[in-house]
Structure 1
């Protein structure tokens, strides 16, 4: 009997070790696959083949990044306490920006509306690749349902997240992570709203664009036998 129990314990430990070893982290997947992707994508864009460039990015996401475990990054939150990814119990929608890039008209109000609507089932995070002082003229535009964060090469502790995301995926980029911190989707987005577009129309257009993306990702982030509701 004792021998049988010892054998079972051994097998359980072996299975546990194997399971842990098979976890692929987002940063490792990026590190292992980014060079061939960049080589091919640079060639495509040099040839002005935008369609091929986008196809290569989508392929990288679908075959190498979706399903990986997102790293437990520590994020500096503007005028709030720092937050670690693993301490957020809900799915997470991350958008990366830079303060020196103009955010399209209507985009921030649309994100504010969506963050309020999804406050119970989704955490919105915007990450600016800037120093804290660079955010003073823009952070206040986001409502309290959105965590406004910043990361920059200037801060030594930001080297990992900057190297993993900014220097590889570029920006603006969105990353959707489920509640277990698995990557559901990564996307380059381009808001094509023109400057002269009326503000209400711009907000509606941005809202529809992000809402469709968010709801599809939320559905994809839960088991098929579970229901899904929005507020």
Structure 2
């Protein structure tokens, strides 16, 4: 397994950067590189080699997905008009969830605080891989500075974003885009708050985790 792992990582790193003269969309980059990644990743997780699975994902992101153009998805916003990614005139921070997954304690309040603090330079978008009715109870927990969206296989117009993001990158996942909608960062969350942690502590820890990530990525956009 390790021999195959390092062979794949070497393969992913051979053609790292995309030409600035040619636009490569995220969906195309994923299509070109996802099969060998999935094969190795599935083997790693079947054998409970979690760290190797993480290494594979990070290698795919770093060598093949960073620098691509985010597709101009048309997102359905809960209780608001649809939004097209390219019409957002600032950097974008996207987080994907599913309503049936338990969001860690303190995470939503922390994101609400951060979205308010960065309302002038960053658009927060939360995407639930659900039908509209499934997010009714959780959507209202996010404040007005966060666009709560939803996409699902049962909606015909969602097939592209579901295939590109949900079925390949998994969730919960964060995606950071610069003002031109180039992909700056993609990561799986590795932060987990303690179940019995006091709510203030949980909010602070979650705030610090996301704040560090956001500020580091904002610097990359300058």
Cα distance in 2 for residues equivalent to 1:102 and 1:43: 26
Please name the residue that 1:169 is paired with. Answer: 169
Once the 2 structures are TM-superposed, how far is the Cα of residue 210 of structure 1 from its aligned partner? 0.1
State the Cα deviation string for residues 71-117 of structure 1 (Å, max 9, x = none).
00000000000000000010000000000100000000000000000
**Structure 1 residue ranges (4+ consecutive) displaced by more than 2 angstroms after TM superposition:** none
1:182 is aligned to 2:178: no
State the Cα deviation string for residues 15-66 of structure 1 (Å, max 9, x = none).
xxx976x211000001111100001111111121111110000000000000
Once the 2 structures are TM-superposed, how far is the Cα of residue 190 of structure 1 from its aligned partner? 3.1
Please, what TM-score do these two structures have when normalized by structure 2?
Answer: 0.90
Cα distance in 1 for residues equivalent to 2:160 and 2:33: 16
Once the 2 structures are TM-superposed, how far is the Cα of residue 123 of structure 1 from its aligned partner? 0.1
Cα distance in 1 for residues equivalent to 2:178 and 2:43: 33
Number of matched pairs: 204
In 2 relative to 1, CA 97–19 (structure 1 residues): closer, same or farther, beyond 3 Å? closer
Please name the residue that 1:98 is paired with. Answer: 98
Q: Determine if contact 1:129/1:151 at 8 Å carries over to the other structure.
A: yes
Q: Helix, strand or coil for the counterpart of 2:40?
A: helix
Please name the residue that 1:228 is paired with. Answer: none
Cα distance in 2 for residues equivalent to 1:221 and 1:185: 11
Please name the residue that 2:38 is paired with. Answer: 38
Please name the residue that 1:137 is paired with. Answer: 137
Q: Helix, strand or coil for the counterpart of 2:80?
A: coil
Cα distance in 2 for residues equivalent to 1:189 and 1:163: 20
Once the 2 structures are TM-superposed, how far is the Cα of residue 191 of structure 1 from its aligned partner? 2.9
Please name the residue that 1:78 is paired with. Answer: 78
Q: Determine if contact 1:106/1:200 at 8 Å carries over to the other structure.
A: yes
Please name the residue that 1:211 is paired with. Answer: 211
1:49 is aligned to 2:31: no
Cα distance in 2 for residues equivalent to 1:46 and 1:152: 27
Cα distance in 1 for residues equivalent to 2:66 and 2:110: 26
In 2 relative to 1, CA 218–33 (structure 1 residues): closer, same or farther, beyond 3 Å? same
Structure 1 residue runs of 5 or longer lacking an equivalent are: 1-17, 223-231
Please name the residue that 2:87 is paired with. Answer: 87
Cα distance in 1 for residues equivalent to 2:190 and 2:96: 12
The 10-residue stretch of structure 1 (169-178 or 42-51) with the greater mean CA deviation from structure 2: 42-51
Q: Determine if contact 1:104/1:191 at 8 Å carries over to the other structure.
A: no
Q: Determine if contact 1:26/1:68 at 8 Å carries over to the other structure.
A: yes
Bigger Cα Rg? 1
Structure 2 residue runs of 5 or longer lacking an equivalent are: 1-18
Please name the residue that 1:11 is paired with. Answer: none
